[in-house]
Amino acid sequence: MADNLQSRHRLWVEIDLDRLRDNYHTACGALQSGRVMPVVKADAYGHGAARAALALRRGPRPPGFFAVATAEEALQLRRHGVDCGILLLGVSPEAHLPALAGAGVTLCVPDPATARIYEKTLGGRKVNVHIKFDTGMTRLGLPPATAVRDALEIANILNVTGLFTHFAAADDPSEDAFTREQFDRFDAVCGQLGGHGLTNAVRHAANSAALLAHPYTHLDYARPGLMLYGYSPSGRADTGLRPVLSLYSSVMQCHAVPPGTTVSYGRTWTAQRESIIASIPLGYADGYGHGPPRTPGPDCGGEQGQRPPCGGLYMLVRGRRAPLVGRVCMDFCMLDVTDVPGVAPGDPVTVLGDGGALSAAGIARLTGTIPWDVLCSIGRRVPRVYRQGGQITEETNDIDRL
């Protein structure tokens, strides 16, 4: 936290583009076949989609494709100069189709009806599509019973350049048999389509979990998301992955309070001793505080105050753990810094990061959610600071666009 960032921001995210590249190369090195198609949907899981994509595109072994979820995300990458393949994993509204076709975005087709809409809207304009198969996720795609027939119908309407599916539980070792079953369904359909002449379409199925644990799923492309940002989707080995994102703030005010003092809305936490409470300008409007921090269980209050407060969440202040106390507010939360000597307004606070702080996985575990949720929830009003080679390369603040 150098570069005088505290003088400019009440809180901020730092994104290490070198770590992003390192994680990408770890993913590439884990492949048994094919290439990596980085998933940069949801603003690259809160890391900044355009900047993440450009950092990977300009590095060694650049990706040939990126995957996004929405038309707006695809067009954003093009506006920022991402010049390689972009696959839209979802279905585009009709209004965006001409722009997507003009930008050379590859579209997802989950059923013949969507193919006919695309054909009608585009009026014969060339567009490449990947067909999505539902092999067990029960979310989007051609069902196994009609998959071959429907895919051939789509191929008669549009230019099919890819076939793909998505795994429901590749991160769960107890579900390995089901992951294999999903893959076998997909593989069988691809084989039948090859017998009907659809032989040049690329195939992809593996997410981060499958890339790490199921090498038979790698095919022509793998689509890692979470592992690029430094986290394993399960407890399996993930050697070399390092979190890309850190979240920092600072102490705004300190309160010396006597025993019996309550903290925050609902008075859910009570000081059991002479205490010092530090107010931190970070709240649920910034993406911090869903789950137990906002709706605390018994560990957060009254006579049980001697137990770990608020589910064990803490931040680092002066290199020491300071537990979260009381409910998280819209713009603030409070820490018990009684056991951290000398805390004063302006002291830096590590909310999420290295050096003993909680990671996104740690916060997720304590709040009953998943790392994807923690990363994606960090709000747009939180500035992003990008580093490469240890130096700040860019600062962004999207609040001006709200």
- Burial class of residue 303 (count of CB atoms within 10 Å of its CB; 0-12, 13-18, 19+): exposed
Gap between the Cα atoms of 352 and 143, Å rounded: 41
Sort residue 140 into left (φ over 0), alpha (ψ -120 to 50) or beta: beta
List all residues 6 or more positions away from 121 whose beta carbon is below 8 Å from its beta carbon.
94, 97, 98
Gap between the Cα atoms of 57 and 114, Å rounded: 31
List all residues 6 or more positions away from 199 whose beta carbon is below 8 Å from its beta carbon.
none
| Pair 74, 43: CB distance under 8 Å | no
Cα first-last separation, the chain: 27
- Give all strands (DSSP E) within 199-274, no chain letters: 202-206, 221-222, 245-250, 253-257, 262-263, 269-270
Gap between the Cα atoms of 236 and 219, Å rounded: 21
Q: What letter would DSSP give residue 295?
A: S
Gap between the Cα atoms of 51 and 183, Å rounded: 33
Task: Tell how far CA 55 is from the center of its chain.
Answer: 17
- Give all strands (DSSP E) within 155-274, no chain letters: 159-164, 202-206, 221-222, 245-250, 253-257, 262-263, 269-270
Residue 200: other Cβ atoms inside 10 A: 9
What 3-state DSSP class applies to 66? Answer: strand
Q: What letter would DSSP give residue 156?
A: T
List active site positions.
41, 265
| Pair 355, 247: CB distance under 8 Å | no
